[in-house]
Amino acid sequence: MARFYITTSIVYTNASPHIGFALELVQADAVARWHRMFGDEVRFLTGTDEHGMKNARAAEAAGLSSQAFVDGIAGKVGSLAERLNITNTGFSRTSDRTRHWPAAKELWRRIAASGDLYKKTYEGHYCVGHEAFIKVDDLVEGICPLHKSKPELLREENWFFKLSSYRDKVRMLLESGRIRIVPESRRAELLHLLEDAEDVSFSRPSDRLSWGIPVPDDPSQTMYVWADALTNYLSGLGFGTDGADMAFWPADAHLVGKDITRFHAIIWPAMLLSAGLEVPRQILVHGFITVGGQKMSKSIGNVVDPFDVLDQWPTDVVRYYLLRGLQSTDDGDFSFDTLASRYESDLSNGLGNLVQRAVTLIATKEGGVLSYDATWAKNSALTEVLNDTEYHRAFEQFRLHDAAAKVWEKIGITNAYLNEREPWKQSGEDRTTTLGTAAAMICHIASLLQPFMPSTADRISAVFGAPLSPLQDGQRLSVKPSEPLFPRHDTRTST
């Protein structure tokens, strides 16, 4: 049994999670479930990033203590994961003084022991949105192009991390593929950013930022939010405390949005190298969700609340739309109208119709009972459905939308097979072979649906009385008619 460890980024708790994090959750969950299909032992971490200036200011604006405010947002993130049927094994909170703080302090001490931290006075433009100092050259008419706000000019004494000392080592990791970046195009961007990488401010004066982890042996400073937050990938395994799951380190995959890739692919590996720890094996990068071709923005009023979507559509439908309807590594546009169209064409008329007519035919023509005959696998249509090479290759390359598309190709093959054979006109062994072969196809399709639509896969398994695993010669299928998988769905909402 192989070990596999995947993480999402952790939600910054200055506001409720939006649809973009729902995408990241279901993407990570699909990868985790795919690994479990092979029997891998999986650790899957998500959580919340609760310190920093933005959180403190949001709490103040809400009239709450920082802790009370982030508790509320963390609860919403946990609820979102539950409603999306996410199989995370851990939930990291950076305000957790029992599990996370010891890990962050231990990593800091290891970096300090390597001689890679020093204190100096620094003046620069601090973007609260980034929670980082930003170069003047990266501003557009004095404004941060991502957060549309003017950075604050700060002069203060901070601890700095010697990122510049690790440029060459990090470059070698990226160029050699030791840290695999997906998609490949992001690697070139990172190598370009690495050329100008400067030492990183790793703390803020505690009189300006008290909401955070105190720097070990220097209570006048608060740990930089990114130094704190990145450590969650270790604290989630028990680093600095019991270390119960550290056998799963290094992470096999960090799944992040494109806007925070440099933190994970440049600063984080350098921190780990300084601390004498192994670097992650790969970083999977997804794009943004747009609405009407525009980036989501409160000022525009086009932010999509994932809870609103889940109130209108079943969980598996939302999962399918996010995983199939949006390309895994590119920006994708969210639309309620497109979701409804996908539901009608792919789910109701596609998968749902296939299962319903096969079940009805088996129940009425075969008494609801079939025994799988391994010789049926010689049929060219079934052979094609059972060939999963492209499906698994798409997962390996983090092309989840392509993997889902391969499943729907198999659905099309099965529908075409039934149309060609016309079992409603057959009798005897010919009809049994046709319906048994179709049942085997559908059962296999259900097994491949597990990463995308786990509840639907379970329902199909129950209807056919078959496990979500390859059918064995002589295996008995007991088919039980049920309500349609995807009945007519009425919604008045559109975006």
User: Which residues partner with 412 through β-bridges?
Assistant: none
What angle (nearest 5°) sits at the alpha carbon of residue 95, between those of residues 129 and 60?
A: 50
Q: How many residues would you count in the chain?
A: 495
Which pTM does this prediction carry?
A: 0.93
CB of 300 within 8 A of CB of 270? no
For residue 205, say if its preceding peptide bond is cis, omega within 30 degrees of 0: no
Residue-level pLDDT at 494? 41
Distance of CA 165 to the CA centre of its chain: 32
Domain ranges across the chain: 337-478
What is the predicted pLDDT for the residue at 206?
94
Q: What pLDDT, on a 0 to 100 scale, did the predictor assign at position 322?
A: 98
CATH number among 1.10.730.10, 2.60.40.10, 3.90.1150.10, 1.10.1060.10, domain 337-478? 1.10.730.10
Choose among 12, 220, 258, 19: nearest CA to 131: 12
59-81 pLDDT, tens digit each: 999 999 999 999 999 999 999 99
Instruction: Read off the pLDDT of residues 113-172 as tens digits, 9 standing for 90 and up.
Output: 999 999 998 777 777 666 666 776 677 667 877 656 777 777 789 999 999 999 999 999
State the pLDDT at residue 126: 73
pLDDT digits 0-9 by tens, 279-311: 999 999 999 999 988 887 766 678 899 999 999
Q: Are 103 and 96 in contact (CB under 8 A)?
A: no
Those residues of the chain that have pLDDT short of 50 are: 492-495
* Amino acid 123: pLDDT: 74
